[in-house]
Structures are given as C-alpha cells and as structure tokens.
Structure 1
Amino acid sequence: MTAPVPTEWLLDSDPALRWQVERDLLDLPEETWSATRARVATEGFGAQLLALQDPDGQWAGGAFFPAGFDFASVETAGQPWTATTWSLNSLREWGVGADALAGTADRLAAHARWEYDDLPYWGGEVDCCINSWTLSNGLWLGADVDGIVDWFLAHRMDDGGWNCEWVEGSTRSSFPSTLNTLKGLLDYELATGDRERVRAARLAGQEYLLSRSLFRRLATGEPFAPWALRLAYPFRAYYSVLNAADHLRAASLHDGTPPDPRTADAIEHIRAARQPDGTWLQERRHPGAVWFEVDVPAGEPSRWLTFLATRVLRWWDGEPPAGEPPTTTTV
C-alpha cells in the first residue's frame, strides 16, 4: 500500500512551493494561498534571487549566459542557470508578482542583448525555447513581445511542432522545443484572452506530443530518449514526461477538456515512480552553475517532484484534494 500524500511535509517548505500546495492540492481559499504567494518576493528563494539582480536589470551580466562565459566549457560544466532568462523563469514560476520587478522590462530593453547576433532582448532570437521563455517573461513583466507570437506561427514545422535546430536545417519537430513553445503560447492565451491567434497552432503542437504518447517515437513506438523518463526538478530546459504532463494539465484546465487517454502510458510511468511513503525521489540534478539549490540531491525525496506528480495524478484521476476524505467538498 502507498501512503497518503504527505501534505504536512509539503507545506513545511519555501513559500514558492507552499502557496502552490495550498492552491492546487488542498484547495484552500484564495485569500490563504495568495497571502503565502505574496511572501515569495520577501522570503526564501524568491527574495534571494531578487537580491541578486544587477542594477541594469540583468542577472550575472548576461541574457542567456553569464557575462564572460567560456562557451567551450558547456560540454564539461553544463549550461549555467544564473543569467537573466533563467532567473526570470524561476521568479515567474515561483509566483513572484510583476510589481516586485518594477522597471525591469525597461532596463532590459535598454541594456540586455542576446548572445546570438547581439539582438535586443524583448525581440527574441532564433531559438524556439529561448523565444518561448522571453514571450512568457515579457507578458508577465509588461514588455512588448507580440512579435514573438508571429515568429512562432511562421516557424511551426509541417508535423505540427517546433525545433530549435530549424536554423541548422532541421525540418522535423522535437519534443523539448515543442513543449517549451507550447508553454509560451498558452501563457499568451492566458494573458491576453486571444485564443484565435494561436489556438490552432497550440493544439497542433499538443497533437504532436499526444500522438507520440509524450515520449515515444512515432515510427517505432520506442522511447525517443532515456532521459525523457527521468524525473528531476527544476525542469529548466529539459524535457520529461512529468514536465509535459504538467503542461497538458494546465492546457486541459484552460480549454475545459478532459485528460487525453493517449497520455496514459506517461501517467503510469509517473505513478510507478511514487515511493511507498507517498513521495517521489529526485532522479538527477541537471549539470551547470546555479545561484543556490532549490531542491534535494539525486536519490532523496523531493518536495517539488512530489507536489508536481501529485498535482498531475489528481488531475488525471479526478480525485478530491490530497489528504481529504472523499466526501469533502472542494472550495
């Protein structure tokens, strides 16, 4: 028998995680979880990362890589996660309000340039994933990123998805590029209410993933990569079945549609990784420099993964809030 969801353990966490547990697992009133969310900018992870912002609005002096980064070291040291885009991604995902970053959009417009061709920050560049994060961060901070939406519509592949390597001549979509693009397009719909402009493209991208059960090659049915089945937090740029399933949950709630049965194999993989005590283990730490760690080392029970996996399973199973009796009425 598997133990119930360890909600008290999940609640004993940084405000960046706690408010999401309160909202998405316990269905607590908005005034409760929003009060916890407001603490993210002044306590814990959020406050730590905000304090590391440069006067010009950047982090680590660069857009996607730290200033002065030795690109030859990527193969041995990994992608560093300290520059502006990665820092903004974390703050946004943790729920920091845009008011805590007042003036940042203008400062980045004035001072930040992409390492690729020295392009202006809010205009994006040629990488689908980078452009998606820029779209989401710009919507959050109030920057003019509408042109990036047009870019995505113009760069969709014939098979329905996207590939960051299109600039190298690739004509087939990739799982990671498609998932990261879908997140930005969904954020655009959520922020603007403009469903007509991107809805068809977003649904086609979802179909690319769903037709492949989130992790299988279309031609053979075999997993496209072993790392797609590994569960790790933070997600960062990496694809995993949990990352994909959590996005599909958000899209399903936005569209008012039930879970797609083609997700079943991925869901069962996530479910099978649950430990007897109701937790999920961190399976790896992605290589690369960080400002500070926000989750446990590989092999230890992860609050973040336990929260995310439980949230996905609750959506898939249609279960009542974690830790509550089946007769409890949700808020």
Structure 2
Amino acid sequence: MTQSDPAIEWLLDSDPAIRWQVMRDLLDAPEREWTAERAKVETKGWGAKLLACQDEDGQWAGGAFLPAGFGPREWRKQGQPWTATTFSLSQLREFGLDPSSERARRSVALIGANARWEEGDQPYWQGEIEECINGRTVADGAYFGIDVSAIVDRLIGERLEDGGWNCERINGSVRSSFASTINVLEGLLEYEKATGGTPASRQARETGEEFLLERNLFRRLGTGEPADHQFLRFLHPNRWRYDILRALDYFRASAILTGAEPDPRLGEAISHLRSRRLEDGSWPLDWSTEGRVWFEIDDGPGKPSRWITLKAMRVLKWWDAGV
C-alpha cells in the first residue's frame, strides 16, 4: 500500500485519530512519524472534541454507564444513550489517545475517584456486573494503565462451558453470545498487551477465540446458518455490538501479538469483507445505532466510512501477507 492509493489519500485527508493508524498500519511509517501524529488526538479533531465534553470530575454526562437524569422514556423513544463515561472512554481508546499523556492519566484517576456504576454502586475500576461491560472496562483500564487484574479473574471464572461468555449468564443462559465474547476477548487482549497476561487469561482467550472460529465468526454451530444477518453488516462505532469486521480486526491484533498465522476458518468472513468493497476502494457504513451521542464521526449509513475502510484495509493487508 502506498500513499498514492486513492483510498489511502482519502483516509489521510481526515482526523488525526484516523491518520496515525493509517500511517502505522497501512503505510508502515517510522514510529516517530505516527507517534507525532497520534499526539494530535489530544489537541485536535475528534479526540479534543470528546475531551472537551468531559465533566470536571472526570466523568462524561455525569454517569458511568448512563447519563445523569436519563430515564426509561428516553430509552424507549431514542434508544440507548452513548454519552456516558464508559462509551466515551472506549472511544478515546479507539481514537488512540496516548495513555501516557498527562490528560489521560488525570482522566482515569478522576474516574477512579468519582465514577460509580449505576448497577451496584461499586467504584468504576472495580468493574460492573455484566461480562460485556466488564470486557470493555478491562480493555480501557489496561490501555490506560489501570490494574484491572481483579476484573480479569472474575471474567475468567464466568466463562461458559462452550468457551465464551454471555452477559445473560446471570439470568440462566448457558450458551455464549458472539457480542459478549468479542467484548471480553478485546479486554483480555488489551490486558495481555499491557501485562503479558497470566496462564489463565491466555487460556481463556484461546477458548473464546475457538468459540468464534469454529462458527466461522458468524454461523450457528448446529445448523450452519448465520446466527444473525446483522453480523455481516458493518457498524461503527460498535459499542457493545458484534460484526465480522470487529472480529477480524481482533484476530489480526491477536495474531500480531502472538506471532500466529491467520486461521483458515477466517476465510469465509474475509471473502465477504472483500465482496463489500466499493468501486472507489472504500467500504460503506451499513448501519448505526440509535441514541444520544456527543457528535457523529461518519457521514451516515450507506455512505463510505473511513473507520470501516481503515479496519477493512488493515485486516486484508494482514491476511494477504500471511496466506
């Protein structure tokens, strides 16, 4: 891939949160160049805009998972809101806010001191009760330098017999879900990047990966039918939701960390990803979630998406180099 590629040029003509990842993942730029671009996330574009929405106590919208004052009526009329602390922090991680920056360190310290989960009232960095939420909390905490080992141990103990996770386990579910599993896997991977992981966390990650791989990332194990046709439609930001591009991007990151070769069982999802590329070299945003957001970062469903395109191009670059 070269900077003269029209799709690359289009990605570079964007926000620092996109540009630095293009430089690192697609153009193999020297580290000093992409880190300089990454530093701009704190002061320019989407990253700076989201940081400007932060409350003085370190939270966003006055809550951990839900905005202050949010009620069931708004949920019914507008959908789940995405402005509270957990979703804002995850978005900053995706943008690539430097975790060693003074702003990042101060933010996570304030969150630890002031944010408490609406479900259970426990301090933020002790985790919530649902596996889906705790997977993302582990990912954010590990990325930003917080000791989340206690939440990791809890997630390991909550693994189901089929190797994955389901946030409905507490209500009696005994089968893992694609969404819960990818949320936990991303958290365990970030934890492993930060700390090296433990034998138990690495084993849990392996069984969670196997849960997805033996289903080709989207099929029911029993019938072979798609578990949900939405898994084949591309979404951004994913929040807690699952699609095959999210899973492919995870497996790419996992393989880079461990040195593993691409698993052939990813091939069907890769073929579908290739089939969705537009004539101009981009990929479209298929749908987006309803609900309150701080600001939009895509042009809307049906339009080319820089975030989807970035992830798709780096997945295919990794896959093509390894097969």
Indicate the TM-score class for this superposition, using the shorter chain for normalisation. over 0.9
Equivalent position of 2:227 in the other structure:
224
Alignment of 1:119-268 (within 5 A): 119-268=122-271
- How well do the aligned residues superpose, as a CA RMSD in angstroms? 1.5
Q: SS of the residue aligned with 1:22? A: helix
Partner of 1:272: 275
- Check whether the contact 2:220–2:227 (CA below 8 A) recurs between aligned residues: yes
Matching residue of 2:29: 28
Task: After superposition, give the CA deviation of every residue in 1:23-76 in whole Å (9 maximum; x if it has no partner).
Answer: 101111111111100000000000011111111110000001101111343243
Query: Do 2:20 and 2:38's aligned partners in 1 also have CA atoms closer than 8 Å?
Result: yes
Distance 1:207 1:103 in 2: 38
Give secondary structure in 1 for the equivalent of 2:168.
helix
Q: Distance in 2 between matches of 1:5 and 1:182?
A: 34
Distance 1:259 1:143 in 2: 31
- Shift of the alpha carbon at 1:102? 2.7
Deviation at 1:284, TM superposition (A): 1.1
Which amino acid counterpart does residue 89 of structure 1 have in structure 2?
S
Are 1:296 and 1:302, in contact at CA under 8 Å, matched by a contact in 2?
yes
- Cα distance between partner residues in 2 of 1:29 and 1:199: 30
Quote the Cα distance in structure 1 between the aligned partners of 2:162 and 2:23: 39
Which shows bigger deviation, 133-142 or 29-38?
133-142
Compute the displacement of 1:126 (Å). 1.4
Residues 76 and 265 of structure 1: CA distance in aligned 2, closer, same or farther (over 3 Å): farther
Q: Look up the match of 1:6.
A: 7
- How many residue pairs get aligned? The number is 317
Match of 1:77 in 2: 78
Unaligned runs of 5+ in 1: 320-331
Q: Distance in 2 between matches of 1:86 and 1:133?
A: 9
* Partner deviation per Cα, 1:126-164 (whole Å, 9 max, x = no partner): 111111111122223333321101101110000000001
Question: What SS is found at the alignment partner of 1:291?
Answer: coil
Aligned-partner residue type, residue 8 of structure 1: E
Aligned partners of 1:104 and 1:275: how far apart in 2?
39
Using the TM superposition, name which of 37-46 and 72-81 deviates more. 72-81
Counterpart contact for 2:143–2:191, Cα < 8 Å = no
| Mean CA deviation greater in 126-135 or 9-18 | 126-135
Q: Which amino acid aligns with 1:28?
A: A
Separation of aligned partners in 1, 2:72 and 2:138 = 25
**What percent of counterpart residues are identical?**
53
Moved more, 207-216 or 111-120: 111-120
CA contact (8 A) 1:104 1:141 kept: no
Map of 1:47 onto structure 2 = 48
CA–CA distance in structure 2, aligned partners of residues 109 and 143 of structure 1:
9
**Residues 4 and 36 of structure 1: CA distance in aligned 2, closer, same or farther (over 3 Å):** closer
Give the structure-1-normalised TM-score: 0.93
* Cα displacement (A) at 1:104: 2.4
Aligned match of 2:303: 300
Provide, for residues 298-323 of structure 1, a one-character-per-residue CA deviation record: whole Å limited to 9, x for no partner. Answer: 1111111111111111111118xxxx
Contact 1:4 1:277 survives alignment (8 Å): no
Distance in 2 separating the partners of 1:310 and 1:143? 31
**C-alpha distance 6-141 of structure 1, shift in aligned 2 (>3 A):** closer
Match of 1:314 in 2: 317
Q: What residue identity is the alignment partner of 1:272?
A: S
**For the Cα contact (< 8 Å) 1:231–1:282, is it kept in 2?**
yes
Report the residue type matching 2:49 in the other structure: Q
In structure 2, C-alpha distance between the alignment counterparts of 1:173 and 1:61, rounded to whole Å: 32
Q: Which residue is 1:118 aligned to?
A: 121
- Does residue 103 of the first structure (1) align with residue 106 of the second (2)? yes
